[in-house]
Chain A
Amino acid sequence: MNSTSTHFVPPRRVGIYEPVHQFGMWGESFKSNISNGTMNTPNHIIIPNNQKLDNNVSEDTSHGTAGTPHMFDQEASTSRHPDKIQRRLAQNREAARKSRLRKKAYVQQLETSRLKLIQLEQELDRARQQGFYVGNGIDTNSLGFSETMNPGIAAFEMEYGHWVEEQNRQICELRTVLHGHINDIELRSLVENAMKHYFELFRMKSSAAKADVFFVMSGMWRTSAERFFLWIGGFRPSDLLKVLLPHFDVLTDQQLLDVCNLKQSCQQAEDALTQGMEKLQHTLADCVAAGQLGEGSYIPQVNSAMDRLEALVSFVNQADHLRHETLQQMYRILTTRQAARGLLALGEYFQRLRALSSSWATRHREPT
């Protein structure tokens, strides 16, 4: 009983990295729990307010304690009566079927609990970081990090957690296949998946921006080192090229020329968007500052500023559009193998930034 419950309070993020292994263990625990009739113990630890499962559990225990002994009592007599054997077999099958269904439901419950746990951990991390950077400033609320209140943002954060997991998996895969032998068709499908994965992030960000554009712009969903490079809610496309370029095999003259052009186009597009953002800041400041001094009412200024701020969502979307197009153009220029190396380099770059963030954070905490 105690040994099983320890599985449910895993060390940080074990569930994320070893889901398959965990499931195996949970499956075992499930069996032993059934026989003991103590399934509710671990459940209460992990999902205290889940009534549905608790109902299942009460059924379980009644079945386990009342049903089983009864069957054992009949053991001796049934062997001589074929119809009784048939009945027992049928009962057995039925019990097994129910057990399988319960197991399935149980595993599903565990899966949702796991997701909840991940989400809670992320929230905890962020709350810790915010406390770290903002201190206990009086204006914590006015910073606009209302993610616990906003369901769109909560969903985004969870999706982003999964996104990073999936990216880590893809990077591993690319790393493995690039060291071994793989044919171009298989490699191409890996590369296209990795590209699609980035595009998926842009889609997620676009709906998150609708929910709370300030949150997306703040980069609070990323680690601190990634945030350091933040430009309109994400990475700079020109940074992406800088990261990729040293990792290519020999480029042909045409490819070199194309890459140079792309670099320049990227820079121009970035500059244009940056200037647009500056203009937005100017007009917003003008809006807010407009009107007579000491008027008392802020309503007209706030209303017109709200209208101006709508543009912020388009900026996030345009910046992602630029990232999208840059990735795609890069893929057009490169061969499949080069693109695979490029995507691996990019993925490892982000992984290193994330590692840097956590190392830095722990280094910072040590002196106190």
Chain B
Amino acid sequence: MQGTISCARNYNMTTTVGESLRPLSLKTQGNGERVRMVVEENAVIVIGRRGCCMCHVVRRLLLGLGVNPAVLEIDEEREDEVLSELENIGVQGGGGTVKLPAVYVGGRLFGGLDRVMATHISGELVPILKEVGALWL
């Protein structure tokens, strides 16, 4: 099957445990709604190329904070398509280009690893994560 996108939904408050562990495969052939849905229904989602090491860094960092983010891994051949879909959703302050890996918090584009790292060090990240319900304590 060409160009599948799998979403390992490791964390989602609204779904049951069993479902959340199941890797979610979705086809986005001409259907931007699926990407939008995944982004909107996860409090925190990391989107990046398949096997991307920087994605891994973001995920590890969030895990260290006690947040288990969903991870959407994109195959190379679908990258442009998914990126153009992403650019239509939840960009703060209107359009703009999305760079991978991208982190969405509360259905909106938060930024790349740079932003995650900077807000983490300045202590702003945890309050933001609490605000969207990704972190309780």
* Chain A positions near chain B (C-beta within 8 angstroms): 258, 261-262, 265-266, 268-269, 271-273, 275-277, 279-280, 283, 311, 314-315, 318, 321-322, 325-326, 329, 332
Contacts and interface: CB of A to CB of B under 8 A. Distances in A.
A268 B56 contact: no
B53 A269 contact: no
Interface in B85-101: none
Contact of A275 (B52, B60, B121, B122): B60
A321 B61 CA distance: 15
Interface stretch (B3-11, B16-24, B30-38, B110-118): B110-118
Contacts of B117: 269, 318, 321-322, 325
A97 to B, nearest CB: 55
A322 B113 CA distance: 10
Contacts of B56: 275-276, 279
A321 B118 CA distance: 8
8 contacts: A266-B121, A269-B61, A272-B57, A272-B58, A272-B64, A311-B53, A314-B54, A326-B121
Given A283-B51, A314-B54, A322 B121 contact: yes
Nearest to A324: B118
Interface in B80-137: 113-114, 117-118, 120-123
Contacts of A262: 121, 123
Contacts of B53: 276-277, 279-280, 283, 311, 315
Contact of A325 (B52, B64, B121): B121
Contacts of A276: 53-54, 56-57, 60
B99 to A, nearest CB: 11
A22 B48 CA distance: 56
Interface residues of B, number: 19
Given A265-B120, A321-B114, 14 more contacts: A262-B121, A265-B123, A268-B61, A268-B65, A268-B120, A269-B117, A271-B64, A273-B57, A276-B54, A276-B60, A311-B52, A311-B53, A315-B53, A329-B123
Nearest to B118: A325
A272 B60 contact: yes
A325 B122 contact: yes
Given A279-B53, A311-B53, A318-B54, A272 B121 contact: no
A318 B61 CA distance: 13
A277 B57 CA distance: 9
Contacts of B58: 272
A35 B61 CA distance: 71
Contacts of A266: 121
Contacts of A272: 57-58, 60-61, 64
Contacts of B60: 271-272, 275-276
Nearest to B119: A325
Given A272-B60, A272-B61, A275-B60, A329 B121 contact: yes
A318 B51 CA distance: 18
B57 A275 contact: yes
B122 to A, nearest CB: 6
Nearest to B54: A314
Contacts of B64: 268, 271-272
Contacts of A273: 57
Contact of A318 (B113, B122, B123): B113
A276 B64 CA distance: 13
A311 B55 CA distance: 11
Contacts of A277: 53
A321 B116 CA distance: 11
A332 B52 CA distance: 33
Given A271-B64, A283-B51, A321-B114, A265 B121 contact: yes
A32 to B, nearest CB: 58
Nearest to A282: B53
A258 B121 CA distance: 11
